[in-house]
Chain A
């Protein structure tokens, strides 16, 4: 009898149990703690095999349908994880990674930001759509502007004295 119940449960989770038997199984086992544990364990195994957190669609739909009839029974009780499954090396490293990620996210949010005065002025207006960034025509005056910038900047082109006609600009 016990084996039948578990076989039915397994078949239900695999979507192979017909609706009537499925509803009957739920009704029979709604207060059965062992059944709740097995329900959780089977789902966990299924999720791991499928690498998914969602149950199969067919089961999902059938559970929803059953919920309408038995609104109080379908959520298994909170079942503590067995200690043996909790302390696997994989889980331990996952816990380390999760902790580091949480700390990184929280500290990134809390990191000091520039003074408000900075922020007020550091807002750069978004580039307007009419600014053509992709292969615009070459500006024939670019060399002139670059030469003038180099000769006028105390830092840019600091070492090279440009040998260009533009350096002989005269006062206007």
Chain B
């Protein structure tokens, strides 16, 4: 009798298991997934909205007000950071300007796509499906609105999972969460209030700082760095991560001196690689840790050069990347 019961149960659950492991059932419908990604991506650019959102990363929490509209065919966004020192971001199709009134400084970003919440998903949407399993996880409520939970499950352990909650009506992302490998949230962005109308005026999307002509202007990204980057090899780059920025700069602050800075991103996460000359008396050991800002950090040495890897990737990934960095062998002409 027991054998019979076990046999029937095994058969039943085996059939369930086969259905579960079959690729056609394991993967959500690809077209459906792409449609959702496209809706989330275009909603943030095409619609007019304004609201307040909160972001929490590690032990850091800040809030900001965002207003967005497409006026005369030009997409405009303004972000005001509400906590700490005042900061303002004005973005148009051509450039992004970051205003630092305390420093009387404005940073101009051209040819560099900085993603502003809730515009976190960008084309090509197929790219996401290559490295994440995209699936719907039911409904939730954020800022008093019903939203659809969309889960991005990393296909490998070299990147984190992400979850978005998209407005059921407008498809705007109302909440974005990044999870670590233990499925604990390490970064959360969510609207506490949001409205779609009336459409913000052009003036309301301009900077509130009147006279910035005397402010220091810093252009970003800094040019240079490509030749130095050619000297270095990083064999262990997680699949899907592309180099999106390379700069040669002199950092101010405690760490002075020339350094190389390269940024890699897979569209949802990014990490930086820094290379600089080791300072005299600096040890040659390696260290790795998770910072309070939820960033993974690795520091090591290649010859007399110090290499640092820092970003929103698992610590093991940061260590593997850092330990793989090598100087390419000189090729004699």
Contact = CB atoms under 8 A, between A and B. Distances in A.
Q: Do they bind each other?
A: yes
A142 interface: yes
Interface of B: 1-2, 5-6, 9-10, 13-14, 16-18, 20-21, 23, 26, 53, 55, 62, 64, 79, 81, 84-85, 87, 89, 98, 100, 102-103, 105, 107, 112-117, 120, 155-158, 189, 216, 218, 220-225, 236, 238-239, 244-245, 247-255, 258-259, 261, 263, 265, 268-272, 274, 285-289, 291, 293, 295, 297-300, 308, 310-312, 316-317, 319-320, 323-324
A160 B87 contact: yes
Contacts of B316: 124, 127
Nearest to A102: B10
Tell me the interface secondary structure of chain B in the complex. mixed
Contacts of B323: 125, 128, 131
A24 to B, nearest CB: 37
18 contacts: A99-B6, A99-B9, A114-B155, A118-B155, A121-B238, A124-B316, A143-B254, A152-B261, A154-B113, A155-B269, A155-B312, A159-B53, A159-B117, A165-B253, A166-B251, A166-B255, A167-B107, A172-B222
Interface in A69-105: 83, 86-87, 91-92, 95-96, 98-100, 102-104
Contacts of B113: 154
Given A103-B16, A149-B295, A132 B287 contact: yes
A59 interface: no
Contacts of B308: 141, 145
Q: Which residue, B189, B258, B319, has most C-beta atoms of chain A within 10 A?
A: B319
Contacts of A106: 14, 17
B261 A161 contact: no
Contacts of A112: 21, 23, 26
Contacts of B274: 145, 148
Contact of B98 (A141, A146, A161): A161
B263 A152 contact: yes
